Chain A
Amino acid sequence: MKLTLSWLKEHLDTSASLSEIVETLTRIGLEVEHVHDPAAQLKDFTIARVIEAKPHPNADRLRVCMVDTGAGAPVQVVCGAPNARTGMKSVFSAPGTYIPGKKITLGKGVIRGVESLGMLCSAAELELSNDHEGIIDLPEDAPVGVSYAQWAGLNDPIIEINLTPNRPDAAGVHGIARDLAAAELGVLKTKDILPVEGKFPCPFGVTLDFKEEDKHLAPFFGLRLVRGVKNGQSPAWLQARLREIGLRPINALVDITNFLTFDRARPLHVFDAKKVKGDLVVRRARKGETLLALDGRTYELDETMVVICDDNGPESLAGVMGGEASGCDENTTDVLIETALWDPMNIAHTGRKLGIVTDARYRFERGVDPAFALPGIELATQLVLEFCGGAPSELTLAGELPRLSRAINFPWSETKRLTGLDTPREDAALILERLGFSVESAGADIAHIAAPSWRPDIEGKADIVEEVVRMIGVDNVPSTPLPRTDGVAPAVLTMMQKRARNARRALAGQGLVEAVTWSFVSKEQAEAFGGGAAALALANPIASELSDMRPSLLPGLVAAAGRNAARGLGDQNLFEVGQIFLDATETGQRLAATGVRRGLAGAGRHWSTPAREAGAFDARSDVMALLDSLGVATGGLQIVPGGPPWFHPGRSATLQFGPKTIVGHFGELHPRALKTMDVEGPVAAFEIILDALPAPKAKPTKIKPKLEISDLQPVSRDFAFIVDRATRAGDLVKAAQGADRTLIADVAVFDLYEGKGVPEGKKSIGLAVTLQPREKTLTDAEIEAVALKIVSEAEKKCGAMLR
């Protein structure tokens, strides 16, 4: 909502300064977004006369001007404007002046060897228009030395208010003035709007053609004909008002409706009566009907929209935009003025569906003052008669103005209850009355308070509290400590929140860098990583590569690694902890911790160790660190070869606690998935579903299980087994462990070898087995017995032979 200061003062008798007004508007909830004060911005620009303009000695396109600025001796200015000439009057700025159109502060300069002590300005440099063809050419009688802005009448600041949707009353200057008056910044100027006396009956009838249940769509409609008007330009003051707030004056009749839209928040429509055939019918549009609207576009209508029709069909889209066919132009002699009430929701729906944004829609969808429907048309008629002459008809009315009775029982204590602010009820009553509320039984504990017709947002007690508080100022509400529970603050995070938090720290501790990537990916990427279901596609994505909810964190991370690689950062170690979407239900959203490693592992190329590419075991190490940091018991963890299709089939594994509790995967990503992502591999990755991990058993105390350590020295024996290449080390370890469950404390794989000395198709696995005696030191014979058992188990389970 835009208005100018002088326009505001038409409605508000005030001596307040612009800054007081702006500050007050913001304080009472009409947030001033921007104040454009041309007078302030241009205060240093003065009118000057070019005494002489002669060619620049060193540049063909420049002129050297001697300028009379009205202050002291003439000033020499080098000017590049083609229109600079001897005797002309223009706008001058001295060095030190801020030039708004160039966003620079002017300095003294030497241009091609000639000193220049100021500037003659174009309209663009003053931000008055886009005209930068030449310097401003002022009429001969412009007074030299005087402020240009003042002389040009550019002294009306424009105030732009960021209006909240609950305040349709402030979509008009009068309503804004009313709020300021209630804030004691001045006195609201009111004038009685007297009905215009009709000279003849209105020849146009109106039918509101709605079923009973649809009557709310158009509760009231009024119409008046003014015959014999002359529709020329509207008066200069009205044109100026419209221009200042960014509207284009069109003709007097149209300008009047636009003026009242902003002056009174009352949109009206004018038809050229000669172009209207027969009586008007207001009804739902029919599917397939079209309307060529005033914006020159043709809209396809449907039965959800309301139209105003004559015998030719729809002539206007109710509350949104008029039709071109019956619009008023300079040839209009008979004008039909329409005032109406519409259903706000319906107007919003129609506007949204057709993509039409108009000042009328803006007000109707927020709710116009029903009580002003009739004064609005009277005021419009008066202006028509004043500007265009003509003879007014009587009013044709249809429907009924809604009877408003919205009295609210308001306990005066409510303000204190909700805000802590102790306001004397007399003060509160006064504030409300100034805002147009009616206050009955003000002396009782519970008053009856009715909101004015222009405040559809007032529904209950809390709304009244807000009115009181916003006028007193929220800053005056005393800050009150929130009572806290005694003692140390208790823990408040859920297990899953703690998991997410610890997972982040653990993975960062693994040297991975945390990324936060979009929750949406392209359909192709979603499909490549197990998603792409129709239920998880956005109906209105912002871009095609952000169209589907991610089924995995991998596409986002792989894409990020690819982007970084394209920047020349090939070694990438990224992770993310965040939501993935397996279906559109609540349980389909899971919490995942996922990482990718691309390029060289660890410290990269380093003198201390041979460089190697990050691989599946780096990912596995990340997984194990993650599980350990979350305190997940990994005793039952099974690592099953193979993963989902986006993993390399031979270099990946599924992590599970039994076949029904799959908790994630690790390995190398499938080259095809990488191709979809357009990222060069190999890329090692893991993904763990944090909310699939088993929860630790609830325990009554924090006491840890008793520590059992033996004084007896452990014994270690190494074994080198030859097994088939396909035999899994994990199975061999398990076989060795199974040889003696009490004595064998640990089995570690310390060596893996294939090649010379090992038969073709076989591999050698070195196991270090640690025996922990429990009761007494083991004899050599006992150790030998266990060793033999290990060898025989290895042979039995894995076909292993000692090397």
Chain B
Amino acid sequence: MAFAKIETAMTDIAKLEEYTLRQIDEAADEAALEAVRLAALGKKGAISALLATLGKMSPEERKTEGAKINALKDKTTEAIATRREALSEAALETRLAAETLDVTLPAPASPLERGRIHPISQVTDELSIIFADMGFAVAEGPDIESDDYNFTKLNFPEGHPAREMQDTFFLAPTGGEKRLLRTHTSPVQVRTMLSKKPPIRVICPGRVYRCDFDQTHTPMFHQIEGLVIDETTHLGHLKWTLEEFLKSFFEVKGVKLRFRPSFFPFTEPSMEVDVQCRRQGGDIRFGEGEDWMEILGCGMVHPNVLRNCGIDPDRYQGFAFGVGVDRLAMLKYGMSDLRAFFDADTRWLEHYGFRPLDFPTLAGGLSS
């Protein structure tokens, strides 16, 4: 549409107003509106021209005409602003109407959705948190150990049949000291006692190795052991610690334990601990029921072990316990085959694994 030039001669303010406002209303887009504005309010615009005529008027005339012309100017300015707003709204609407997405298209998965934490790491984190709260530090040691730390210092005499309870992997002899893969994390307890004075409170998680391979035994598995040495800790404390630990770990209100006297060379008295459970179908629940499930071994640290580690058994005493991390994971989270833990089948890992930010905490509960 072409815009008629507003005649500067058009002196009839009412007409000019009507004309200008119509022009504004009819402006179809921002550019047309700008042309109207220039025609009316630009340097050479009709209203500007009218304003210029004020200088030649008498003061009285100027008073009346000035007010009229300025009113016209204000009205026009406002009308332009309103029209501009309307045009921009309409333009936006038009644009938006054309801008569409097929929101049913899948978005790329975030790495957080794909990553997983292995159940062994998760359960180790859970255990560390429980025991950290009870004041246990985490101690670690090497997987390749000496016979002395793995057996002798732990009161397994050379050639004693107790050594055969743990089928040991040996490293090929190379002339030096005989070395083996630790069969339990107890050598870490030895290292701790040799390097630290009581009071001692540590847990020792880690990989251990025994020559055995079936559905419930793998040549490598994970253990966590606990050790407390001071002047007063006794079997009653051990019972309490294990009750608290298992209760927290299985996230139940209470759990009954059954202690059976047993034998380990490094503890005296020694016990195996069964935990109360209910077996239902393939399911197992802790903290209820009439069944018992063997879960860990424990005892008071044998005086010979204390002595072997430079601690006076008449002054110091304490307890130790050991439990399979993989086994705890299986019991809590319901995996049935230990071998699958080490097969790295991503279908298994994605199913049984934990989300990257699913960090166990005491405040938030161990598991989500």
Contact = CB atoms under 8 A, between A and B. Distances in A.
Given A513-B353, A606-B108, A542 B211 contact: yes
Interface string A458-502: 011111011001100011011111101100011111101100010
A247 interface: no
Contacts of B259: 474-475, 477
B278 interface: no
Interface in A555-581: 556-557, 560, 563-564, 567, 569, 572-574, 577-579, 581
Contact of A469 (B106, B269, B357): B269
Interface stretch (B24-32, B51-59, B63-71, B118-126): B118-126
B235 A540 contact: no
Interface in B98-156: 105-118, 120-121, 125, 128, 131-138, 140, 142-144
B260 interface: yes
A581 B136 CA distance: 28
Nearest to B269: A466
A579 B207 contact: yes
A535 interface: yes
A606 to B, nearest CB: 5
A57 interface: no
Contact of A465 (B114, B170, B269): B269
Interface residues of B, number: 93
Interface string A394-425: 00000000000000000000001111110000
B173 interface: yes
Interface string B218-252: 01100000001000011111011101000000000
Contacts of B220: 518-520
B143 A579 contact: yes
A515 B349 contact: yes
B235 A420 contact: yes
Contact of A419 (B138, B169, B236): B236
Contact of A511 (B106, B114, B138): B114
Interface in B240-286: 240-241, 243, 258-263, 268-272
Interface in A517-542: 517-520, 534-542
Contacts of B349: 513-515
B341 interface: yes
B265 to A, nearest CB: 8
Given A345-B160, A474-B261, A557-B344, A586 B142 contact: yes
B105 A538 contact: no
A542 B346 contact: no
B364 interface: no
A538 B172 contact: yes
Contacts of B353: 513-514
A608 B303 contact: no
A417 B319 CA distance: 12
A348 interface: yes
Given A469-B261, A513-B349, A540-B170, A508 B117 contact: yes
A541 B114 contact: no
B138 A493 contact: yes
Contacts of B134: 482, 484, 489
Contact of B260 (A31, A462, A480, A507): A31
A496 B258 CA distance: 37
Contact of B111 (A31, A418, A489, A511): A511
Contacts of B211: 540, 542
Contacts of A493: 128, 132, 137-138
Contact of B346 (A165, A572, A609): A572
Nearest to A420: B236
Contacts of A469: 235, 261, 269
B2 interface: no
A352 interface: yes
A773 interface: no
B128 to A, nearest CB: 7
Contacts of A490: 135
A28 interface: yes
A462 B269 contact: yes
A542 B341 CA distance: 18
A504 B262 CA distance: 38
B300 A535 contact: no
Contacts of B114: 511-513, 573
A524 B12 CA distance: 104
Contacts of A459: 304
Nearest to A470: B261
Nearest to B158: A345
Interface in B272-314: 272, 300, 302-304
Contacts of A70: none
Contacts of B118: 514-516
Contacts of B106: 606-607
A581 B144 contact: yes
Contact of A589 (B143, B269, B342): B143
Contacts of B17: none
A167 B263 contact: yes
Contact of B140 (A27, A366, A497): A497
A514 B117 contact: yes
Contacts of B90: none
A20 B2 CA distance: 112
A124 interface: no
A505 interface: yes
Contacts of B219: 518, 520, 542, 546
Contacts of B359: 505
Given A505-B117, A508-B117, A564-B345, A538 B169 contact: yes
Interface centre among A462, A475, A494 (most CB of B within 10 A): A462
Nearest to A466: B269
Interface in B162-207: 162, 164-165, 169-174, 179, 181, 207
Nearest to B299: A466
Contacts of A344: 161
B310 to A, nearest CB: 18
A508 B234 contact: no
A564 B235 CA distance: 48
A38 interface: no
A519 B143 contact: yes
A520 B143 CA distance: 12
B23 interface: no
Given A28-B261, A563-B344, A574-B346, A419 B213 contact: no
Given A474-B271, A501-B125, A514-B353, A535 B108 contact: no
B343 interface: yes
A540 B167 CA distance: 10
A588 B344 CA distance: 26
A231 to B, nearest CB: 33
Given A465-B269, A474-B271, A563 B343 contact: yes
Nearest to B132: A492
Contact of B144 (A484, A514, A589): A589
A720 interface: no
A503 B281 CA distance: 39
**Top 8 A-B pairs ranked by shortest CB distance?**
A511-B111, A29-B261, A420-B236, A164-B263, A560-B344, A508-B115, A480-B236, A466-B269
Interface of A: 26-29, 31, 164-167, 344-346, 348-349, 352, 365-366, 416-421, 459-463, 465-466, 469-470, 474-475, 477-482, 484-485, 489-494, 496-497, 501, 504-505, 507-520, 534-543, 546, 549, 556-557, 560, 563-564, 567, 569, 572-574, 577-579, 581, 584-586, 588-589, 602-603, 606-609
Given A165-B162, A549-B144, 13 more contacts: A26-B260, A29-B262, A166-B263, A344-B161, A418-B300, A460-B268, A474-B259, A505-B117, A509-B115, A509-B356, A514-B353, A563-B343, A584-B171
28 contacts: A27-B261, A166-B263, A419-B235, A419-B300, A466-B261, A477-B259, A482-B241, A493-B128, A501-B125, A505-B117, A505-B356, A505-B359, A508-B355, A511-B110, A512-B114, A513-B114, A513-B115, A514-B116, A514-B353, A520-B219, A535-B172, A538-B169, A546-B219, A560-B344, A563-B343, A564-B346, A584-B144, A609-B108
